[in-house]
Amino acid sequence: MIQHHLVMDAPTLLALSGNRQVSALIHRAHFEPETRLWAPVLSVLEADAEHPGIAEHVGQLEVIHTVDLDYPAVLAVAQMRRNGTPIGVAAAVHAVRHLPEWGADALIATVDPKAYEDHRVPCLDLNR
């Protein structure tokens, strides 16, 4: 079975409260087991800082799996942050690049595709 792995960044997590495309993505993952949604913990934290309660909401959605960061990941995210990338975006970039055990290519599912123009990672634009 081919699996589709989609990493949700902080802007997308913030859009959980009313974006049709993000809602459709959640429903798709619920009904199609080959669609796997991932949220880096730093993306969840960044979204929750802007909109308190997002972390609890993400935790209630069984179809969203979290991606933890080990020390090398923290260093990579910190470097991107020093270069001006928001933490929630940097964590998504790192997740897409460094989780080969998924056995398939992953995409960043985002409502802010411009945030990834300099990072050369595959994105699914949820604004279309």
Looking at residue 87, which CATH number applies to its domain? 3.40.50.1010
The pair of structure tokens assigned to 2 is 């081919």
Specify the pLDDT at position 21. Answer: 93
Report the SS3 class of residue 6: strand
Specify the pLDDT at position 77. Answer: 96
Residue position matching structure tokens 């997002």: 54
48 pLDDT band, cuts 50/70/90, is very high
What is the rounded CA–CA span in Å between residue 99 and residue 117?
21
Number of domains in the chain: 1
What is the rounded CA–CA span in Å between residue 50 and residue 86?
13
Q: What is the pLDDT of residues 106-124, one digit of tens each?
A: 899 999 999 999 999 999 9
How many residues can be counted in the chain?
128
32 pLDDT band, cuts 50/70/90, is very high
Cα distances from 27 to residues 22, 23, 64, 117, in angstroms, run 9, 6, 11, 28
Residue position matching structure tokens 């933490």: 87
Whether residue 1 is predicted with pLDDT greater than 70 in this model: the reply is: no
Specify the pLDDT at position 17. Answer: 83
> What type of residue is 104?
A
What is the rounded CA–CA span in Å between residue 46 and residue 9?
9
What's the domain range around 118? 4-125
Specify the pLDDT at position 3. Answer: 76
Output the pTM of the full model.
0.92
